[in-house]
Chains A and B, each alone.
Chain A
Amino acid sequence: MARDRVSGLAWLAVALFAAAQGLSLGLGSLHRPGPGFFPFWGGVALGLLSILLVVRTPARDTPGAPRLRPDTARPFVAAGAILGYLLLLEVLGFVPVTFLFLLLLFRLERRGWAFSAVSAAAGAVGAYALFQLWLKTQLPSGPLGF
């Protein structure tokens, strides 16, 4: 599959970067390996394997291969929501961020506002009770105190 060429080239770039980092860290000698020894040889191994993968792969896609691009934006919205959650967690506090996070995802799934809001609130408070109060996890609190 041609997509193996794409991923192979991407990994080749990673490999070159790792090998370069290894070199700058210092390989040491073969008998006294330095901090760059593993990164360098790991990078070299990855690079050689990537080249092998690219060379072996025919340039044309085999017909009938599944499409790479999904038909829906759901994965991207979810990924964005996770990142947003992390960036806002220590700003707003656990309960408000969790509420917003769940609300967004339920709305994404085209649930009604009432269902989404109630479920998100219940989920946020429930998770707070479970993790903070029962399991004694240290969750960040925001300006509201939770």
Chain B
Amino acid sequence: MEIFSGVLYGFQVALQPINLLYCFIGVFIGTLVGVLPGLGPAAAIALLLPSTFAASPVAAIIMLAGIYYGAMYGGSTTSILVNIPGEAASVVTCLDGYVMARQGRAGAALGIAAFGSFIAGTLSVIALTFLAPFLARVTLRFGPPEYFALMALGLTLLTFFARESTVKALMMAAVGLLCGTVGQDTISGRFRFAFGIRTLEDGLGLVPVIMGLFGISEVLLNLEQREQRRDIFAPPTTGLLPTRQDWRDSSVPILRGSVLGFFLGILPGAGAIIASFASYAVEKRASRHPERFGAGAIEGVAGPEAANNAAAGGAFIPLLTLGIPANAVMAILLGALMIHGLQPGPLLVKQAPDVFWGIITSMYIGNAMLLVLNLPLIPMWARLLRVPYSVMYPFILLFCLIGAYSVTNNVGDGIVMWVFGIVGYLLKKFDYEGAPLILAMVIGPMMEEALRQSLILSAGSFDIFVSRPIAAGFLAAAAVLLILPLMRRR
């Protein structure tokens, strides 16, 4: 019953005209970001965060969340029509989606991607609706030791899902922890790694760091290649509705992708990208005709596209119930909530029910908007892809510069972005991933505080982490995850 009244209240909030407008702007920009290669949702949300300062917290988060799941829709369009992933979670969609387009079935591919995304997005919001309040009640009883143990587990999970090497992912997490310590220590008041620079004394800003690592560095890397002419398939205006046979082939993959994506979305570091790859692998294995994969199998579009949308919903669970971000996008949303004076975590549902329920229900609305937005507007998005990169990237850089500056009206933050842009560029060249760095940078200070509080609670005894069963369980799981991959060669 509690959930029903919550959902009802949420719709009252989300259906207010101003919130509807922000939701629409969010999913619209999200689709745009998804369609355009070279600008991912993390950088885009960081970019637009300052523009939400004037809005109410609910409206701000509704819009920023809309960008995230909107990007999951938009990414498929570019994958199918151009064979370039519009954003990272749509990489696998290229495999069969582009082949389908070459076979003249672009309409079916785009249609099933949109419908699959809608179904999965909605299913995962339903799961979120029921699971989040329940989990928030459970985690309410967590004290600092449980939090510390859970975050330790989260960080190791993050590296467990690393695509490159585990050692490098762990290194990035360590670098992130160090980045998180920059600034004034809350307990002793001493400055760490600030070197007398005012911008650093306040700590590294999340927005400039993310825009550097995911925005600037991406542009610099793209500039290494001379632009090639993109072969864009003329987008179909008819035939977007999947046939009965398409539905028969796709319905199970969509359901499977939804479940898989939702649960992978919850885990730190897994998220939409891993979910889409996992779904593709599962569908190929489950298929009676695995040889059709890569040759235009509609299941290979439906499953992964469902999975990446479901993952976007699942990722909200740790944020809303624990205040722990599961990926870089959630890290910015965490920052956004805090900027708006809210403390994400188990108390959010009690302290700010309008935000908690407003965000969740806005996703039902946003998903419906996206379905409407995506199908008829595909020709428009495709036209946008004809804008050459050499005209587009100066504006991407400009928006990053304005975004970094306008958070605190401080050129220093722009310099931080520039430095992390160069660092991110080098990291990519040397095959490191940026995501563990960001998560560790956000989780690090929370972990440090939880550790110190735990030790104050226990008067300095580490027994507190062993004698409390939940904390001990999390830490044991973390230890296993940490040791297993290191034992394997490489």
Contacts and interface: CB of A to CB of B under 8 A. Distances in A.
B394 A89 contact: no
A34 B415 CA distance: 30
Contacts of B398: 98, 101-102, 123, 127
A83 B263 CA distance: 42
A102 B426 CA distance: 25
B422 interface: yes
A83 B223 CA distance: 17
B455 interface: yes
B401 A85 contact: yes
B429 A109 contact: no
A68 B167 contact: no
Interface in B175-206: 175, 177-178, 180-181, 185, 187-188, 190, 192-193
Given A137-B50, A137-B406, A31 B461 contact: yes
Contacts of A106: 390-391, 394
B170 interface: yes
Contact of B181 (A39, A52, A89, A98): A39
A43 interface: yes
B174 A45 contact: yes
Contacts of A52: 167
B414 A42 contact: no
A40 to B, nearest CB: 10
Chain A binding surface, main DSSP class: helix
A132 to B, nearest CB: 10
B490 interface: yes
B107 interface: no
A64 interface: no
B54 interface: yes
Contacts of A74: 223-224
Contact of B401 (A50, A56, A86): A86
Interface stretch (B77-85, B214-222, B277-285, B469-477): B214-222
Interface string B420-439: 01100110011110000000
B409 interface: yes
B410 to A, nearest CB: 10
> Interface size for chain B: under 10, 10 to 19, 20 to 34, or 35 or more residues?
35 or more
A34 B226 CA distance: 51
A43 B193 CA distance: 12
Interface string B306-344: 000000000000000000000000000000000000000
Contact of B402 (A31, A38, A109, A139): A139
Contacts, number: 162
Contacts of B118: none
A89 B415 CA distance: 12
B189 to A, nearest CB: 8
Interface stretch (B31-39, B127-135, B231-239, B444-452): B444-452
A118 interface: no
> Interface size for chain A: under 10, 10 to 19, 20 to 34, or 35 or more residues?
35 or more
Contacts of B221: 75
A32 interface: yes
Given A78-B219, A86-B418, A131-B402, A25 B190 contact: yes
Given A3-B430, A11-B175, A105 B192 contact: no
Contacts of B452: 33
Contacts of A68: 429
Contacts of B405: 86, 89, 139-140
Of A42, A82, A89, A119, most B-chain CB atoms within 10 Å: A82
Given A21-B193, A119-B391, 16 more contacts: A3-B431, A25-B190, A38-B448, A56-B167, A74-B223, A82-B397, A82-B401, A82-B418, A85-B401, A85-B414, A105-B393, A105-B394, A106-B391, A111-B390, A123-B398, A131-B51
Interface of A: 1, 3-4, 6-7, 11, 14-15, 18, 21, 25, 29-39, 42-43, 45-46, 49-50, 52-53, 56, 68, 70-72, 74-75, 78-79, 81-83, 85-87, 89-90, 98, 101-102, 105-106, 109, 111, 119, 123, 127, 131, 135-140
| A-B pairs with lowest CB-CB distance, top 3 | A31-B460, A46-B174, A109-B390
